[in-house]
């Protein structure tokens, strides 16, 4: 029978038990209310013998992407859990609704992405982590994603997982040390949560990029609760989710995520993996279903519940409530779905699989454990000489103290890929690119080196006269006005910018307008079409901050 066809629940269950001790059941409509009739069929057309279920009724988590169950449905589901336990509230771990947190992304992010017309690939080392499809792109791990130019809908990373938190309806990526703490605890089925390290002064001094994270999380030490999938601090809480590659039962990739299923032991409160004997070594209590078979039913078959048995008992596992019920005794036990335990090493989260094929040949060798590296140029280096000439052309009286090259393979590859995309989009061969200046405060440099320029995070000293984006100029003297003095020196960034097609900007623009001649969006807005001095960019993949010039 088709999974989409209406079915009689009672008849299916009786047939299942007579032929196979393992039976699966569709979701009861009483727990989720009336969600509409089956597609193309009215309820008055159905033969007697119901109840009947649409695909949406059977599997509310298969609603159209982004659909959210109503508050009434959620309240009813919570009531069902409490009622099953009587006066003792059972803490249900990793319920179906929590599973949805891991698989349904930010609606606002998807709407913004679909309306923008131009894709943008989001990486794990960006602070903002909203993606249309909340999964790790398995091809990004080996740097082979064919959508990285036009904008992949999944999160790009160099490992199969990433932890995120939600703030004001947007998802943000945890830094490496927090992801490690969360993952190490989550892999242990006996762990309910973990207390996260605070972003202390020592971390801030070691890496200034933590300042932006601290603005969102504060200086508190948050506690993660895996039952609720939240982090909590006092009365405050924020949702969290774990983004990963596909389950291993859905993908043959070596980078697929392996999940294991556990039930709380009746003898010693240990968590026993399905298919294994319990603490008391009672072989007659071992279910005739394995962890892998449960994962198939949960992920691939998407059933609501499944019946199975041991030599001694018959059981029902409710995937919504994550509870196993003994049909003979009525005793319920919590069930957990956790990732397979694997060593957590620093290199597991860092991007050690960076491809060198597209990196500039003049770059120095890098430590693969670092997201970016800074290299001080010698006065005799050709790059030093070229940049000095560029600076003094429009700022002749400046005295250069030091020039550093920024080497960030992830920002560079994003820039190169976007360049290829623009060339194809404009169908005009090589896109025009130019070295431009950007004035900033020295306190922003570490964040810029890791995540690139973002006027929303680093502010805008020039206002929004020509659009709401990042501002650049070919004049070092002009950009010098927007560089803050620290001690006795200032800093300017020399940035490689994809200029492409240009049009006149205005304050209300949040992206370039459409070119009526081609139907494509312009690439850049400017202050003057004939002789532009100010260039505004709206996509941080269209520029790469390559040099830091310290001067006075």
Q: Each residue of 442-497: pLDDT tens digit?
A: 888 988 998 898 766 544 555 678 888 899 999 999 999 988 888 889 999 999 99
Tell me how far apart the alpha carbons of residues 462 and 439 are, in angstroms, rounded to a whole number.
10
Contact assessment for residue 113 and residue 132, using Cβ atoms and an 8 Å cutoff: yes
Buried b / exposed e across 99-125, counting CB within 10 Å, b at 16+? bbbbebbbeebbeebeeeebbbbbbbb
Q: What is the H or E stretch that residue 545 is in?
A: strand 543-551
Length, in residues, of the chain: 552
- Give, as one character, the DSSP assignment of residue 111: H
Q: How many CB atoms are closer than 10 A to CB 504? A: 15
Q: Which tops the pLDDT comparison, 473 or 50? A: 473
pLDDT of res. 281: 57
Tell me how far apart the alpha carbons of residues 472 and 482 are, in angstroms, rounded to a whole number.
11
What residues contact 157, with CB distance under 8 A and at least 6 apart? 123, 124, 136, 137, 140, 141
pLDDT of res. 359: 84
Tell me how far apart the alpha carbons of residues 318 and 25 are, in angstroms, rounded to a whole number.
9
Buried b / exposed e across 276-307, counting CB within 10 Å, b at 16+? eebeeeeeebbbebebbbbbebbbeebbbbbb
Contact assessment for residue 167 and residue 238, using Cβ atoms and an 8 Å cutoff: yes
DSSP assignment of 215-252: HHHTT---EEETTTTEEEETTEEEEEEEEE--BTTT--
Confidence of residue 117 (pLDDT cuts 50, 70, 90): very low
pLDDT at 528 over 70: yes
- Using a pLDDT cut of 90, give the percent of the chain over it: 34
Q: What would the two tokens of residue 547 be? A: 């040099």
Whether the ω angle into residue 304 lies within 30 degrees of 0, i.e. cis, is no
SS3 97: helix
Q: Which tops the pLDDT comparison, 227 or 438? A: 438
Q: What is the mean pLDDT of residues 114-138?
A: 81
pLDDT at 211 over 60: yes
Tell me how far apart the alpha carbons of residues 452 and 551 are, in angstroms, rounded to a whole number.
21
Taking all residues of the chain, what is their mean pLDDT, rounded to a whole number? 75
Q: Which CATH class is domain 259-339?
A: alpha beta
Q: Is 3.40.50.1000 the CATH classification of the domain at 354-551?
A: no
pLDDT at 82 over 70: no
Q: Locate the domains of the chain by residue range.
A: 1-77, 259-339, 354-551
**Same CATH fold, 354-551 and 259-339?**
no
Lowest-confidence segment of 16-30, 287-301, 409-423 by average pLDDT: 16-30
Q: Which tops the pLDDT comparison, 18 or 417? A: 417
Tell me how far apart the alpha carbons of residues 162 and 83 are, in angstroms, rounded to a whole number.
35
SS3 153: coil
Of 111-120, 271-280, 306-315, highest mean pLDDT: 306-315
pLDDT of res. 267: 64
Q: What angle do CA 304, 307, 313 make, to 5 degrees?
A: 145
pLDDT at 134 over 70: yes
pLDDT at 213 over 60: yes
pLDDT at 60 over 80: no
- Considering only CA atoms, which of 62, 65, 34 is closest in space to residue 42? 34
Q: What is the pLDDT of residues 232-244, one digit of tens each?
A: 988 899 999 999 9
Of 109-113, 366-370, 378-382, highest mean pLDDT: 378-382
- Considering only CA atoms, which of 284, 331, 345 is closest in space to residue 309? 284
Lowest-confidence segment of 178-192, 312-326, 360-374, 523-537 by average pLDDT: 360-374
pLDDT at 379 over 80: yes
pLDDT of res. 278: 66
SS3 107: helix
Q: Which tops the pLDDT comparison, 58 or 389? A: 389
Tell me how far apart the alpha carbons of residues 475 and 436 are, in angstroms, rounded to a whole number.
8
Q: What is the mean pLDDT of residues 403-432?
A: 86
DSSP assignment of 1-64: --TTS---HHHHHHHHHHH-S-EEEPPPGGGT----PPTT--GGGSPSS-----HHHH-GGGSS
């Amino acid at each position: 029978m088709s999974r989409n066809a209406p079915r009689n629940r009672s008849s299916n269950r009786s047939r299942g038990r007579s032929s196979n001790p393992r039976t699966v059941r569709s979701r009861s409509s009483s727990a989720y209310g009336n969600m509409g009739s089956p597609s193309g069929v009215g309820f008055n057309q159905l033969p007697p013998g119901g109840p009947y279920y649409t695909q949406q009724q059977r599997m509310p988590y298969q609603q159209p992407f982004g659909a959210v169950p109503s508050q009434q449905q959620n309240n009813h589901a919570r009531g069902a859990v409490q009622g099953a336990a009587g006066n003792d509230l059972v803490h249900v771990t990793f319920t179906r609704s929590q599973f949805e947190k891991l698989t349904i992304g930010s609606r606002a992010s998807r709407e913004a992405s679909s309306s923008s017309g131009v894709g943008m690939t989001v990486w794990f080392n960006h602070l903002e982590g909203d993606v249309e499809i909340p999964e790790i792109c398995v091809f990004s791990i080996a740097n082979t994603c064919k959508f990285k130019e036009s904008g992949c809908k999944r999160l790009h990373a160099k490992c199969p997982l990433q932890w995120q938190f939600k703030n004001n309806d947007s998802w943000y990526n945890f830094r490496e040390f927090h992801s490690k703490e969360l993952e190490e605890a989550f892999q242990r089925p006996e762990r309910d949560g973990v207390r996260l390290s605070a972003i202390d002064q020592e971390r801030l001094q070691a890496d200034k990029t933590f300042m932006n994270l601290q603005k969102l999380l504060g200086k508190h030490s948050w506690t993660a609760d895996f039952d609720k999938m939240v982090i909590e601090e006092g009365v405050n809480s924020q949702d969290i989710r774990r983004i990963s590659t596909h389950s291993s039962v859905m993908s043959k990739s070596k980078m697929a995520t392996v999940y294991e299923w556990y039930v709380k032991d009746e003898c010693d409160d240990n968590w026993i993996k399905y298919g294994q004997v319990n603490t008391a070594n009672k072989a007659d209590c071992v279910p005739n279903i394995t962890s892998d078979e449960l994962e198939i039913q949960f992920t691939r078959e998407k059933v609501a519940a499944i019946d199975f048995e041991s030599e001694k008992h018959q059981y029902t596992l409710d995937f919504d409530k994550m509870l196993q019920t003994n049909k003979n005794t009525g005793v319920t036990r919590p069930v957990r779905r956790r990732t397979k335990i694997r060593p957590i090493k620093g290199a597991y989260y860092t991007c050690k699989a960076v491809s060198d094929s597209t990196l500039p040949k003049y770059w120095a060798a890098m430590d693969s454990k670092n997201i970016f590296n800074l290299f001080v140029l010698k006065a005799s280096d050709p790059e030093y000489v070229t940049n000095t000439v560029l600076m003094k052309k429009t700022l002749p009286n400046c005295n250069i103290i030091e020039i550093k090259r920024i080497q960030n393979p992830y920002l560079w590859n994003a820039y190169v890929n976007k360049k290829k995309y623009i060339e194809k989009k404009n169908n005009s061969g090589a896109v025009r690119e130019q070295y431009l200046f950007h004035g900033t405060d020295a306190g922003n440099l570490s964040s810029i080196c890791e995540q690139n320029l973002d006027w929303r995070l680093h502010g805008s000293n020039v206002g929004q006269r020509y659009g709401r984006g990042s501002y650049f100029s070919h004049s070092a003297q002009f950009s010098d006005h927007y560089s803050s003095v620290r001690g006795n020196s200032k800093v300017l960034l020399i940035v490689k910018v994809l200029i492409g097609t240009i049009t006149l900007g205005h304050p209300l623009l949040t992206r370039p307008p459409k070119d009526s001649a081609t139907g494509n969006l312009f690439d850049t807005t400017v202050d003057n079409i004939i002789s532009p001095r100010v260039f505004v960019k709206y996509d941080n993949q269209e520029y790469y901050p390559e040099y830091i010039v310290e001067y006075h």
